[in-house]
Amino acid sequence: MMEAKGIAPLVAAVALAAALGSAVAVSLAASAVFEVAPDHPLYPLKRVGEGIRGLSEEEQMKLRWQEYLWMVDKGKGLQYQGVLREFVDKLNSVAPSDRPAEVAEWIRGQQPTFADVQLRLAEEAAGGDQRLRREIERQYACWRENRDMERLRAWLTFFAYRVQRYWEVNELFENIHIVSCIQQVFAGGDPFRRFEELRSAFEELKQKVAAKMGELPREAAERLYRLALEEADLALRARDQNRLGRAVGLMTAAAVHMERALRLTERWFEWERSLLE
């Protein structure tokens, strides 16, 4: 949330720039004050100023995330998904950087914040539905107790499946997770060896999910299962074409989606029972 202490410097800077009679100066002044949030009238000028100042993709990525946190604080996270989408776009643009370990480390450091934001967005999507709110409170308690990110991600998919308003934002956060996994693969040594490890993990997950799909035919899990199979097929084609970067990225995504499908099949009955409480 933008505090009053951030307004005074902004007003002074813009007043000075206006006195100079320069639209460029106004844009630079707005962009220099980071407390200008996406719902502020001067936000478009701030964005113009960022380009003039030559902020790097990584700097813009971190600014978009900070801005999105402000919107979530204001209860406008779903309304301003465009800011989150821009953050994801910037994250993707810096993903093939020369220092994947640093980008992966930054993402790992944000994981608790990502989880908290997703739960707050779920509350926003739930609106006045008290049953959904009680369910979200239980997930908050589980998250605080065990910090199991994979279990939380699977439940958020379960939630998004029932609350379509949340589906799109959940997919954006899934993209963040996949980019993080890809960065860790490239930071961890020989990409070809890691590709084969990912392929082996994917095949093991696929067998487990396939064994459960017959007993639990759920659309959300089936959608992830089909997506994972398509990604794995594309990954193998890319490997055969010696496009190893694309192959690693696709096989990482395939393994992530198959793992999430497995979590859904394992936990679905448990979550459905909790809805009756």
- pLDDT digits over 13-36, tens only? 444 445 444 444 444 444 444 578
Which domain, by its residues, includes 152? 56-275
In the block, residue with structure tokens 């953050």: 87
Residues 123, 172: one domain? yes
Residues 150, 265: one domain? yes
Give the pLDDT score at 8.
Answer: 46
CB-based contacts of 93: which residues, under 8 Å, 6+ apart?
57, 61
Residues 77, 14: one domain? no
Residues 229, 119: one domain? yes
- pLDDT digits over 155-173, tens only? 998 899 889 889 999 999 9
- pLDDT digits over 133-157, tens only? 999 999 999 999 999 988 899 899 8
Give the pLDDT score at 26.
Answer: 45
Task: Compute the distance between CA of residue 132 and CA of residue 15 in angstroms, rounded to an integer.
Answer: 47
Residues 194, 231: one domain? yes
Mean pLDDT of the chain, nearest integer: 82
Residues 38, 61: one domain? no
Q: Contact, 34 vs 63, CB < 8 A?
A: yes
Residues 133, 105: one domain? yes
Residues 265, 143: one domain? yes
pLDDT band with cut points at 50, 70 and 90 for residue 216? low
Among 35, 55, 75, the domain-final residue is 55
Residues 172, 123: one domain? yes
Give the pLDDT score at 188.
Answer: 65
Residues 17, 154: one domain? no
Residues 176, 209: one domain? yes
Residues 39, 158: one domain? no
Give the pLDDT score at 1.
Answer: 41
